[in-house]
Amino acid sequence: GQNIDQPTEMTATEGAIVQINCTYQTSGFNGLFWYQQHAGEAPTFLSYNVLDGLEEKGRFSSFLSRSKGYSYLLLKELQMKDSASYLCAAPTPNDYKLSFGAGTTVTVRA
């Protein structure tokens, strides 16, 4: 199975940067996902890392270190609409089922 840990909550001000860390222990490795989930809504795909390094997509970037079992999601120029839960997820290698972390609730304040 997959064991995924991330902080429960983080607070930041509008325009700031926040980094959400995720550590994982997986039976094999087949990439790492980040999803965004607004309250009461379904998760939406943000990023997927399978190789080490930083992947940048506009205001959001995701980093992976396979040797350390570590990833982070970086949110820049925070906006109020970024207030949401951010889920770290890893698929099992053979059958590709996704296991999710408990999610990090990010609150953006004016």
Residues making contact with another protein (CB under 8 A): 1, 31, 33, 35, 40-45, 48, 87, 95-103, 105
Give phi and psi for 56, each to the nearest 5: -110, 135
Closest approach, Cβ 83 to another protein, in A, equals 14
Closest approach, Cβ 96 to another protein, in A, equals 7
Compare residues 17 and 50 and give the one whose CB is closer to another protein: 50
Compare residues 21 and 105 and give the one whose CB is closer to another protein: 105
Closest approach, Cβ 45 to another protein, in A, equals 4
28-56 per-residue burial string, b: 16 or more CB within 10 A, e: under 16: eeebbbbbbbeeeeebeebbebeeeeeee
Closest approach, Cβ 99 to another protein, in A, equals 8
Q: What residues have CB less than 8 Å from 63, skipping those under 6 apart?
A: 49, 53, 54, 55, 71, 72, 74
Compare residues 105 and 107 and give the one whose CB is closer to another protein: 105
